[in-house]
Amino acid sequence: MDFLEFLTPAFWVAVGQIILIDILLGGDNAVVIALACRGLPPKQRKMGIIYGTAGAIILRVILIAFALALLAIPYLKLVGGLLLVWIGVKLMVPQDDEGHGNIQSSDKLWGAVKTVIIADLVMSVDNVLAIAGAAESAGQHQLPLVIFGLLVSIPIIVAGSQIVLKLMDRFPVIITLGAMLLGWIAGQMIYTDPGLKPYLPDSKTWEYGAAIFGALLVLAIGKFAVRRKEVVEAP
């Protein structure tokens, strides 16, 4: 393994994408951690957050390792790309906070850790697909890239999630750009699907064109969905 391969622009662009994806899609995870650990004694809350987050990250690395292997199956990247488009659109539409009401707190440390891990597993489909897609763009050493990106994002999510969420509230363009990033990755995933490869030009220009189309598609559908939601909720 050549160390210089980890210094290429493609590697660091993918790392940046993974960190941004984890921040954008990790807001719910931060809420879940807080809800699950709120019943712990003050001295145990920090340990609950650390253990729960560590367990969730380890589980996510395992899931992404499987996802990277599965993306080699024909037409699976097509399905994954379409799902990422839907996730990107969903990210742009304001969501109600009712979905966290069923997260139970625990007064036992390992009970809280278990709650965090199970909830994160249920909520990790979007993260796993998006991160696997971002890692593919870096070429070789995809799993080390995933692990590095997730490790860098852990302190950001645990310590800075509230700051990031406030920034998103103040500058909504961050959410829009993040949703378009998912569309970009979706376009690349679909274009490089092994099942579609024989029918498409083997050209980086076309691949980037598909990525741009994916980003603009998410933006267009997301804007439409936001306006439709505003019309429906208008008095």
Residue 112 lies in a domain: yes
Distance (Å, whole) CA 124 – CA 228: 27
Q: What percent helix, strand, coil does the chain show, rounded to 5?
A: 80, 0, 20
Of the listed ranges 40-49, 77-86, 104-113, the least confidently predicted one is 104-113
Q: Is the pLDDT assigned to residue 12 strictly greater than 50?
A: yes
Give me the DSSP letters along 178-204.
HHHHHHHHHHHHHHT-TTTGGGS---H
What is the three-class DSSP state of 104? coil
Residue 233 lies in a domain: no
How confident is the model at residue 160, as a pLDDT? 53
Residue 1 lies in a domain: no
Residue 46 lies in a domain: yes
Residue 235 lies in a domain: no
**Residue ranges making up the domain that contains 126:** 9-227
The number of folded domains in the chain is: 1
Distance (Å, whole) CA 187 – CA 38: 40
- 56 within 8 A of 121, measured Cβ to Cβ: yes
For the stretch 160-214, pLDDT in tens is 555 655 676 688 787 788 788 888 988 988 998 889 988 999 888 999 999 999 9
Residue 34 lies in a domain: yes
For the stretch 101-158, pLDDT in tens is 455 555 677 777 777 677 666 656 667 777 777 777 666 567 777 777 777 766 666 6
User: Which one has a higher pLDDT value, 69 or 119?
Assistant: 69
Both structure tokens of 136: 């593919």
